[in-house]
Structure 1
Amino acid sequence: MAVGVLALQGSFKEHIVALRKLGVDAVEVRKPEQLSGLSGLIIPGGESTTMAKLAEQYKLIPALKDFGISGKPIWGTCAGLIFLADKAVGQKIGGQALLGGLDCTVHRNYFGSQLNSFETELPAPPALAEIGGSENFRAVFIRAPAIVDAGPNVEVLAALDVPSGESGASSPGNEAEEKGQKVIVAVRQGNLLATAFHPELTGDTRWHSLFLKMVPKGGKADVPVKAVEESASLIRPFTDPKDLPVFRDASFLVFE
């Protein structure tokens, strides 16, 4: 089984490290022909507009759409979530190309600017809890999007309470953007998985394991149990939202 990681921009290297930790052959994808033979694809976090423009430049958009239509699983994190959505709001002038397929409306910068990046702890959804490890997981949000509307066939895996005054959303009229409401940050629909946060920036590979279970291989992906247990043992206790050591070396995620 070989899983591709779109390697145009953003945190693709971190996803590759996580996949290889689980014993999976990870392939960097920059050209349409590199999608051939892959069992699944991860679209990483980064700058969504830049990523979309590079994908268009390298003529990847049609190939990526065909990959999703084929039924092979795709996981989008942060910018990747925006890429997979059927509709996005809060975009830059001119918008950006979307692969679509995920029956959601995503607010591109729901939580505000780079300075509003944060880390928190959320309850593990049942699908994640089945893999083992802690009953919670660390969620790292970096200039993050959020899902403000989801269709009836979308399974919500994680939602976040947005305290009054904390939302950076700037497009009025969406009920999910009202202060003090929950906002959706992780979903699954058919062969698509999407998270507004960055699991690849933590020591917890359970979200990668969950994605691999979506990869067809004798009914389910072969994820080494020992690797999952080792990953779960690396999860450090959540301490303080201001404790953001992961950002110190994450220069690739500092956007304009």
Structure 2
Amino acid sequence: MSSPSIGVFALQGDVREHLAVLTDLGVDAFGVRRPEELARCDALVLPGGESTTMYKLARTFELFEPLVDRIRTGMPTFGTCAGMIMLADRIEDGTEGQETLGGLDITVRRNAFGRQVDSFEGHIAFDGFEDPVHAVFIRAPWVEDLGEEVEALATVPAGPAAGRIVAVRQGSLMATSFHPEVGSDDRIHRYFVDLVKQS
């Protein structure tokens, strides 16, 4: 696959930022709001935003079941922050009745690092990268529990949350607690694009 078509879930969240990074990497990137747009996707990004709003909008726009089906049948998908929650099979501290698309055999804790005022940024080591990545955490989740087939790609290096898992991969699915679309480092998106090309 030379230049994959990668959609960004565009009903809520950091859509423009992801589209900009993917476009700069030479990818055919576009927003996904309807099932017919999802059908064009070789892969999908679920951006940061508000996970409860995202699943409700996906239901409203009749995207929820098509998304579940595409993820279940192997479409590479990358979730950031709220997108990680959307991909998780299990949630701690979710709202009553909160649904996820599932696919990643992980348990995530919603708003694990605290409220908006507790947002922070720092450098973390990312598996396979020579230099650390600059990670921006905004009302971010963390991974409480990993299934056997899930690989941890990054953990918090220091502070009260030291050792908490903040990036994972399971086959063609990956997720980060933080926002790699913020700033000028495109390595995590490049990692995902390479994963898509290999799928």
Q: Which of the five TM-score ranges fits, normalised by the shorter chain?
A: over 0.9
2:18 is the alignment partner of 1:15: yes
Shift of 1:162: 5.5
> Quick check: 1:105–1:150 contact (8 Å CA) kept in 2?
yes
* Equivalent of 1:70 in 69, 73, 77: 73
Measure how far apart 1:37 and its partner are.
2.5
Within a 5 Å distance, the mapping from 1:146-161 to structure 2 comes to 146-161=142-157
Distance 1:55 1:25, change over 3 A: same
Measured in 2, the distance between the counterparts of 1:64 and 1:212 equals 19
User: Which structure has the larger Rg?
Assistant: 1
- Residue matched to 1:98: 100
Q: Kindly indicate which of the two structures has a greater share of residues assigned to strand.
A: 2
TM-score (norm 2): 0.94
Q: Which residue of 2 aligns with 1:114?
A: 116
Distance in 1 (CA, whole Å) between partners of 2:75 and 2:103 is 12
CA distance in 1, matches of 2:97, 2:19: 29
Deviation (angstroms), 1:124: 2.9
Per-residue CA deviations over 1:76-114 (Å, capped at 9, x if unaligned) read: 00000000000001112x231111110100000100000
CA contact (8 A) 2:10 2:31 kept: yes
Residue 182 of structure 1 pairs with residue 178 of structure 2: no
- Partner Cα distance (1:23, 1:9) in 2: 24
Q: How does 1:1-256 map to 2 (within 5 A)?
A: 1-92=4-95, 94-126=96-128, 128-129=129-130, 135-161=131-157, 163-164=159-160, 181-216=162-197, 219=198
Segments of structure 2 that go 5 or more residues without pairing to the other structure are none
Aligned alpha-carbon RMSD (Å): 1.3
Q: Distance in 2 between matches of 1:3 and 1:49?
A: 23
d(CA) in 1 for partners of 2:157, 2:26: 35
Q: Give structure 1 stretches of 5+ with no counterpart.
A: 130-134, 168-180, 221-256
SS of the equivalent of 2:12 reads coil
Q: Report how many aligned residue pairs link the two structures.
A: 196
Cα-to-partner distance string for 1:9-47 (whole Å, 9 max, x where unaligned): 110110000001111111100111111131100000001
Name the SS for the 2:195 alignment partner: coil
Does structure 1 conserve the Cα–Cα contact (< 8 Å) formed by 2:156 and 2:163? Answer: yes
**Aligned partner of 1:211: which letter?**
F
Once superposed, which parts of structure 1, at least 4 consecutive aligned residues long, lie more than 2 Å away? Answer: 161-164
Following superposition, the deviation at residue 185 of structure 1 comes to 0.1
TM-score, normalization: structure 1?
0.74
Between the aligned partners of 2:108 and 2:132, the Cα distance in structure 1 is 24
